[in-house]
Structure 1
């Protein structure tokens, strides 16, 4: 069961900070929050307004959070709508607001000192010293659209709601008898006799009439329709088209080499393990042990410390003498004791070697020339793109504007999203997925602006018409439709057969008749706990077995290989329960916490009902329809 109350008592944005940040506030004052509410709202809870601006901020932050989870800066509004992200944010905000209203009614308060003390226990606003850094703090909360005072008030609200949560949930304990009953159920195991109803239990599936196939085709129109085709006029220009116009001088190449020398001249690196000693004698003793076969990782110094790993070190990371010794070794070699600059001693083992790279200017000259030429070509394409826009703004058609600035042009009267024409062959349109996506993003009757692809190709498209998908004639797809319908019908009949056999087993009080009807062998299951699974018993079958009474049959899909399992419960075993059993004590605590959570969930739902929630769908849709900022 989800921790719903905790979700509502703590705002999601505060949860982000509490989970990621730790701060040690020196001390700062907590003043009055200045708010500039407007009369625009997305919802009202008991008369309390949830402002459109506030919802928009939280919605944008939620999109950024989902983007971060995917390794992206954010997701767009379309993706957010498909995920139901905006509605989830709003519903959580409504529940929080309902609890805020209760908090105010009860007079629950949180002092400035408590708020500051709580924030002081969070890590994310610390600087390099580990102490609170005001600049880091302000930058962090600004990214989520909060002022300093706004974030403090956010934390104050969270803490006040948490007081209410603790009062509802705190220390809830189930009666011992009820806890034992639930414990016995959760740790119960069952045994069953079972048969497998396989595809061979069915006979041949008769060929259906054409009307049935036609109905099947209509129900699966996406599989049996022609694709959408688009009539598109386009212009394009690639870097290779202007590369010859770019002149790269030797001086430019030399300068690029100098500026990026770290790319071409890389020193040799070594991964090492090193262990430090206070005295030369201790270092020599350890070195002798290693020489006689003691594993380096098992060595210790006078303090009992073991070697530490140091990856990717260059000669600059050592003093001259140690560098010479370390870089003279092969992999797994160990240096003799070396004096450290600090006055101690060390022995070093080489665990890995990354050879250095030293590519001279002459060796990389043409590589750099090509890169600079490409950079120049991309810059020129940008100029051409801007020139196209200027020509287009004068009223020239796509073709006229493109020719005026030297772009290629073309037209395809019918192309689908895969670049194919009605004949199933490749069209003359550019064989580029990004080009095709651009064509199908552009509305019919519109001309788009110049777009640059990941390959730095500029495209401009104008879609003059679209031919919608159309169902193919039955004769053209008969074989495919018959195969699909037959598979669907076979699956339906097999499930129906299994249901009939399960009913027969329950009527007979035995699997004998059902097994005989399909020529199946009755088998015995292993002990089945709630979380059991194997190639036969998947979650659906196990769930059905635990829902069935003693001696009753249940059915579900076979875990692997297709078919259905009919299982008749033959044994139920409950564990012996001792109130001192650690498993029981842990389960009782968890059950009590879950029961407390259920009470919290019910309380939240009750408050929402009592206070009445009024939605402003126009403003909600307006926020969710905008692009992330």
Structure 2
């Protein structure tokens, strides 16, 4: 190696050590393999037969790589949701597919640009990055090559493909370092911002309440009429409907059915297979990305290898313990056959599944057990009663439909057993009667929806209320929605008028008090002369970021307090306009003193560091935007939608 090359390598290693907290160094088998590996050369080399989903200036991302990243991203989101089921709606809400594609494009653009610049990562830099990882160290604390190779095999990578990933990621870090190393002269601005953020003000307030003004006079008829025209749209009655309803309920027919114990015994004897506790098996799995890795692991396990050691290193998105399974629980016939033909403790052959090359282990077997008749007698009788009641229920439903077809009104169908017509008068869509009473209806939402979709004077089609109930409704009357007459809401109108008059009087008095304060009267003088109901209020050391501590301040009034110009040691400053308090009164504020809370040096340093990092990240983001605009990016949307769109 010539002198220039050695110097370049040494500089690269220094850069690497300096940024030892970068993504690469924080954990290859964690963040790197599960994130950057999804876009890296490793997957592309081992799955070169896959179609290309994304191409950036010749650099390709395979469909397989996207699918792998998509599954990992879903696993991450599910972990954030504490294991909750990831429904299609949640997948859409978290924009998982869009984020996976965006990250794939971004990382591929960076890799392509690095290659155009001719950036290289020396072998020694890659080796050191791997050697320092605690995951690859043996019991003596030193790098263990055998352990390293086994760990990669567990993760589904060869040493060549993994080291290629490390090299690619270090190359991307070289592009990021110039931005991280930039310095910005922001300390003066930070000091001003910090002073503003940590400013504290002592304030006082005079509060005017409705008790401080005269009670308003009652409105005239003309004033009331004018107010009614203004607000009447807020006072409406909903549509009400009167209706008859027939509800056929299977549960009413079941008690009519009597079953002899002898008949139940005969039913049991002829259907014993239905009263078996089925065989169950406890199953564990190991999932590998390649069949070769799975075959190697199976060979090791059959030779006495530790199954739990493999499981401990397995990708957490592929749980090793499948729990207890029965026939029909597993998604593939090959898996079921392997599980239910194995002996206790036995291992399956390698089975290729959509999730990877899989090895199954049966850790326990619970044989099938025949339940005796005595223990299931009630269950057998109940099932027979229900089956016979269903036949009677269906026959009654058929006869009811025939009666409806030949009648004009539901009440004409009375006479069938367990068929009763119920009448309800003036019920709105929320199920409340005109009197305010809530009606009790089975399947309320479904039934009410049908009632308000059925024309007056007609009988509805059959309404299914769950599995065991059927209903028919006839709308017998309609009371349309309307605006209430003025006479109906006179009391409410008077209350609104008086409240408005009181609010206006309170605000007018506050404006007068503000004028007196600006003329030189103190708050103490004002409180005495106006004989205000509320005492003078004081809030010491108020900050812009404080949680509001009482009913005096609102976000708006706090903003007004800090917007009032005030110099330390200067004269008291009065806020320019009265402010509404949190409990609806009106206050006039003044600022009596100001100071800046001292910020510890370490906090200020951390704040400065955070701002520098944010600015550096912003510049790097702008750089990425430029690269994306100038790169030749080809995204095969239809292929991606096909590969990810239906993946749950």
TM interval, shorter chain, is: 0.3 to 0.5
Report the TM-score, using the length of structure 1 for normalisation. 0.47
